[in-house]
């Protein structure tokens, strides 16, 4: 390595001495481009490595090359770092088992993620505090709820990280933010080592991404990293004991509080639900009493009753906002003004007494289980890439709700096997096509199987990239087909 550890340790603010640092940026996605640009602007010598380029990436590469970067596409450049490399900044999806990452570790070259780089590029003075969120399910809903609440409180705030704006762009914005709502995946947490959030939250933990992490234990450990070095409040889910255990195991700043949230009655230092009201017993002068935040009916904003996991997400967002001293009235205004994100439990069509719900974001069994618990009689559309996850518990718990199941994707047979074991009387249709027309076929079958009063629910319990560009395309195709069979928009 060309520079010593002391120089790298001193890179802890935007105006530090980044000039001349030899950095490999691995991956030219949204975060990789932002990282390379920020490093080049500060005089670093940047080499960008990426796979086969898209048209957008070719355009980005041209811009970066004008700024002085070397850009190399192709796996042949991704075997080992050049001996002059001081630092690798990796895209979050690259696992530590990748040959390049193994070679970097063997050579003693530090590897940071874009999140770690962003933390170290904050302004020396007056840097915006981070309110960080992770969890197997609900991260994006919670972080965008939190963004809305902070803004309702008059703060210049933005949701960044694993959603929306790259964190490097957020921390270097020419008009500084007051506070950042930060969504973090386990991939991002794996490649982060020095974050010290003002407040942090793990919503829940269930097996996911086991193919990337290698084991549930390692995945769980990475979720727990969100609490490390937390300064003021560690928010946990009282209804998920693992999250409390992660707080108890975390090395936090002295004085940081543990704040629980629950769908039940809140104890002291908790948020919960009292007679249909979201209530705060943590950030009040006298914890014998509670501050009213909003009612469950207000949270629903005139729609059908919100699902339990939606209420839990709202409580978590409220807890983080209250930790940052946002007043109850702003919490209420933010939650009432919040619009749910696409592909997260949206009713996309109604016809012949059947509701069609798009929860394409349910990319793991835990998220699918939460979606299924919110409905009584369901034709379940599921399947895709299970990523090593087990669906037996999901199917066993949901069996009594299932009218039928329509399965798509590369791992559909694994779900079919679980249905044969735990719901043998439930009709199952497997769609053999692995092209995007499979969704049209699946929706046609679901319409045939559904009865008045049923819900047809897309909650795949699996990732989407075996057949689709991502979960948004999967959800969009489901919605389009649902509207077609329901007669909406004809």
Distance from C-alpha of 96 to C-alpha of 99, rounded to nearest angstrom: 8
The label of the residue with tokens 């914005």 reads 173
Query: In the chain, what are the helix, strand and coil shares in percent, each to the nearest 5?
Result: 40, 20, 40
pLDDT of 3 > 80? The answer is: no
Structural contact between residues 99 and 78, judged by C-beta atoms closer than 8 angstroms = yes
pLDDT score at 489: 46
pLDDT band at 394 (very low <50, low <70, confident <90, very high): very high
Q: What average pLDDT does the structure give for the chain?
A: 92
Task: Return the pLDDT at 2.
Answer: 59
Q: Give the residue-averaged pLDDT of 334-355.
A: 87
**Direct distance between the N- and C-terminal alpha carbons of the chain, in angstroms, rounded to an integer:** 64
Q: Considering only 277-286, 413-422, 463-472, which range has the smallest mean pLDDT?
A: 463-472
Mean local confidence (pLDDT), 146-157: 98
**Residue 93 burial class via C-beta count within 10 angstroms: exposed 0-12, middle 13-18, buried 19 and up:** middle
**Residue 196's CB: how many other CB atoms inside 10 A?**
15
Q: Would you say residue 214 has pLDDT above 80? A: no
At residue 215 the predicted structure's pLDDT band, cuts being 50, 70 and 90, is confident
Are 39 and 19 within 8 A, CB to CB? no
Q: pLDDT for 65-123, tens place per residue?
A: 999 999 999 988 888 999 999 999 998 888 899 999 999 999 999 999 999 999 999 99
Q: Where residue 1 falls among pLDDT bands split at 50, 70, 90?
A: very low
Whether pLDDT at 367 is above 80: yes
Place of tokens 């209530």: 279
Is the pLDDT score of 184 beyond 60? yes
Pairing of strands 257-261, 270-274: parallel
The pLDDT, as a whole number, for residue 342 is 78
Looking at residue 238, what is its pLDDT?
A: 97
pLDDT-based confidence at residue 5 (cuts at 50, 70, 90) = confident
Q: Give the model confidence (pLDDT) of 216-270 as tens digits.
A: 888 889 999 999 999 999 999 999 999 999 999 999 999 999 999 999 999 999 9
Q: What are phi and psi of 185, to 5 degrees?
A: -90, 165
């Amino acid at each position: 390595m060309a520079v010593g550890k002391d120089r790298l340790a001193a890179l802890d603010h935007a105006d530090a001495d980044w000039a001349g640092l030899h950095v490999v940026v691995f991956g030219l996605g949204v975060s990789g481009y932002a990282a390379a640009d920020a490093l080049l602007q500060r005089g670093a010598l940047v080499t960008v490595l990426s796979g086969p380029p898209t048209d957008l990436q070719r355009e980005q590469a041209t811009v970066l090359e004008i700024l002085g970067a070397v850009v190399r596409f192709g796996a042949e450049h991704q075997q080992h770092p050049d001996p002059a490399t001081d630092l690798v900044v990796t895209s979050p999806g690259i696992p530590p088992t990748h040959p390049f990452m193994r070679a970097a570790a063997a050579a003693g070259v530090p590897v940071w993620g874009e999140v770690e780089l962003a933390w170290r590029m904050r302004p020396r003075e007056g840097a915006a505090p981070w309110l960080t969120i992770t969890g197997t399910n609900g991260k994006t809903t919670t972080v965008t709820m939190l963004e809305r609440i902070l803004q309702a409180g008059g703060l210049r705030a933005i949701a960044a990280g694993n959603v929306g704006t790259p964190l490097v762009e957020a921390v270097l914005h020419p008009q500084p933010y007051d506070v950042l709502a930060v969504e973090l995946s386990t991939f991002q947490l794996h490649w982060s080592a020095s974050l010290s959030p003002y407040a942090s939250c793990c919503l829940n933990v269930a097996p996911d991404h086991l193919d990337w992490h290698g084991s549930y234990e390692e995945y769980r450990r990475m979720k727990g990293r969100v609490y490390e070095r937390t300064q003021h409040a560690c928010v946990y889910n009282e209804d998920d004991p693992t999250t409390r255990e992660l707080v108890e195991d975390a090395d936090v700043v002295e004085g940081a509080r543990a704040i629980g949230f629950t769908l039940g009655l809140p104890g002291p230092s908790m948020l919960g639900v009292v007679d249909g009201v979201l209530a705060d017993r943590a950030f009040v002068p006298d914890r014998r009493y509670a501050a009213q935040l909003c009612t469950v009916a207000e949270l629903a904003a005139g729609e059908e009753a919100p699902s339990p996991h939606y209420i839990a997400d709202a409580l978590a967002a409220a807890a983080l906002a209250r930790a940052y001293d946002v007043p109850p009235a702003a919490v209420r205004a933010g939650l009432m003004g919040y619009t749910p994100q696409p592909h997260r439990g949206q009713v996309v069509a109604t016809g012949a007494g059947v509701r069609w719900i798009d929860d394409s974001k349910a990319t793991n069994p835990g998220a699918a289980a939460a979606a299924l618990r919110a409905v009584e009689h369901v034709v379940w559309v599921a399947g895709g890439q299970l990523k090593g996850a087990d669906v037996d518990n999901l199917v066993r718990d949901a069996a009594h709700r299932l009218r039928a199941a329509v399965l798509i994707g590369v791992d559909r047979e694994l779900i079919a096997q679980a249905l044969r074991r735990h719901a043998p009387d439930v009709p199952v249709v497997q769609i053999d096509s692995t092209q995007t027309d499979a969704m049209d076929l699946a929706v046609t079958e679901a319409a045939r199987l559904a009865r008045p009063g049923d819900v047809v629910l897309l909650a795949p319990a699996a990732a989407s990239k075996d057949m689709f560009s991502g979960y948004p395309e999967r959800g969009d195709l489901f919605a389009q087909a649902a509207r077609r069979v329901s007669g909406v928009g004809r």
